[in-house]
Amino acid sequence: MPITPQAAAYRPDPRIESIRDRLSDPVAAAAFPKTILRFRNRRWDKAVGLDSLSDEQWTAHFGRFEPLPGNLPQPLALRYHGHQFRHYNPDIGDGRGFLFAQLRDGAAEQPGGRLLDLGTKGSGRTPYSRFGDGRLTLKGGVREILATEMLEALGVETSKTFSLIETGEALQRNDEPSPTRSAVMVRLSHGHIRIGTFQRLATLNEPDTMRDLIGYVLTNLYAETPGDAPAAQLLDLVCRRTAALAASYMAAGFVHGVLNSDNINTTGESFDYGPWRFNPTWNPDFTAAYFDQQGLYAFGRQAQAIHWDVVQLALSLRHVAAAEELAPALDAWPAHYERAVAAAICGRLGIAPRGEEADLALLQAMDVALQRSQVGIDRFFFDWRGGGRRAPSPADPHYEAEDFADFRTAIAAYRGTASLDHGYWRDAAPCSMLIDEVEAIWSAIAEADDWGPLYAKVDAIRRMGEALGS
Ligand code: AMP
Ligand code: MG
């Protein structure tokens, strides 16, 4: 179950200082012509004690990047490599973002709270910008708000969009009508140590730094004491968390779009939303990125893709550990995934799992029913919430048809655990985030500078999150 925000005082804790010389470069933010506050996360600001900032102070920190008290004196562009669509790229790194601050939240799940990062997107050029302008489009920022809010509400462990400030520049992009408006975003995330961070150390043959980085991730991000075999210990944790991540994408009907190894966080937290989409129907071949012509990161291939990335982590860790030490953790990934996907689907259906065999049969029946009928994913989970205690919507004749026969039989044996008291469950239709609505929300901003539909949607999503108990 993802962690919900729990109020806490501001507690700066820039742990990266111990390893920053070998993993990052100090950089400066761009000076923007304007800084217009468009979104501040009123749900998560209190979890890190920043809710008392005035809008002026907020803009000074998250638009002009004046350091937060007791935090990093200068932003750090993080170094990493990664496989992009299976091709190794040693020329990447934080090209339009940096690590701005580190602080602890109020999560009771971890003593002393979790160590979180405030990282940016669109804050200017860095040594890793290559041909890029270091900027983020306003539309890209709005899309990231919508993705993170929806995923959080659906129970996916995700980075949070903490701040979005419009910056008054005109950007040229080939995937948006241009010139297009600019913005700088700040995300709150559980670390920024990616699989690609380890791949870089393997490629540059820096085993000592890799050992230190393993210690950093175990101690600071997993709150674990490194034991005799820290590499295997870390790999085991990463396997569990990334399997849960892949499973949660399926239950959410979400397609990330760019599951490159530099976009996979070693905490298993989902982040970095570019060409993402929610899948309207259960179509395994549905892709999000127009440039993913092979369908490498299609809806139904996401588990495989994330597993492949984790294999790259294991190969990197070979620089500090023997293959036999690492193999058991890696071999367990498919089993972790199977358990996690059953748990995630049962969670969204609001039913109690019944054990491996029964759950697998239920999932298979669901897969057949949804693929054949092409009932909307959100509609399906809405109607069957609690296992059908809530009478399946009279609206959809598909549920009575042959396609759903096995699913109806399978789910009848399940016990509903979800409360249906929340008013959301009496709405005519579920809350969704399909592409037409994303575009409509953006159009209101682009054409009339009307931010109302965006804020209304965030409220509606958070209400759904309440109803789902996430
Ligand atoms: P992404 O596909 O967003 O994960 O980005 C892959 C790499 O390209 C990372 O190193 C980014 O920092 C870099 N990048 C993406 N967009 C830009 C940009 N507009 N300017 C500079 N670097 C960028
Ligand atoms: Mg990225």
Catalytic sites, residue numbers: 262
- This prediction's pTM: 0.97
State the Cα–Cα distance between residues 212 and 189, nearest whole angstrom: 21
What is the distance in A from the centroid of ligand 2 to the CA of 135? 13
Q: Assess contact for 11 and 104: CB atoms under 8 A.
A: yes
- CA–CA separation, 95 and 447 (whole Å): 30
Range with the poorest average pLDDT among 58-72, 209-223, 323-337, 378-392: 378-392
Look up residue 105 and give its amino acid.
D
**Residues 286-334: tens digit of each pLDDT:** 999 999 999 999 999 999 999 999 999 999 999 999 999 999 999 999 9
Q: Which of 89, 91, 96 to mutate to test the pocket of ligand 1 (most atoms within 8 A of CB)?
A: 96
Interatomic CA distance for residues 454 and 358, integer angstroms: 41
pLDDT at 397: 81
Q: Taking all residues of the chain, what is their mean pLDDT, rounded to a whole number? A: 96
435-448 and 138-153 helices cross at what angle (nearest 10)?
140
Mean pLDDT of 421-429: 95
By most ligand atoms within 8 Å of CB, the mutation choice from 129, 258, 276 for ligand 1 is 129
Per the DSSP assignment, residues forming a β-bridge with 12 are 103
Distance 77 CA to ligand 1 centre (A): 12
C-alpha of residue 213 to centroid of ligand 1, in Å: 23
Please state the atom number of ligand 1 nearest to the C-alpha of residue 126.
21
Token pair 């903490």: residue: 162
Q: Distance between CA 306 and CA 295 in Å, rounded? A: 14
Q: Ligand 1 — pocket residues by CB below 6 A?
A: 92-96, 128-129, 132-135, 258, 262-263, 272, 274
Domain ranges of the chain: 15-192, 199-342, 351-417
For residue 330, what is the DSSP state?
Answer: H
Q: Looking at the CA of residue 94, tell me the nearest atom of ligand 1.
A: 12
Nearest C-alpha neighbor of 198 from the set 315, 75, 327, 324:
315
Query: Measured in whole angstroms, how far is the alpha carbon of residue 185 from the centre of its chain?
Result: 15
Give the distance (Å) from ligand 2 centre to CA of residue 80. 10
At residue 272's C-alpha, the angle toward residues 270 and 273, to 5°, is 100
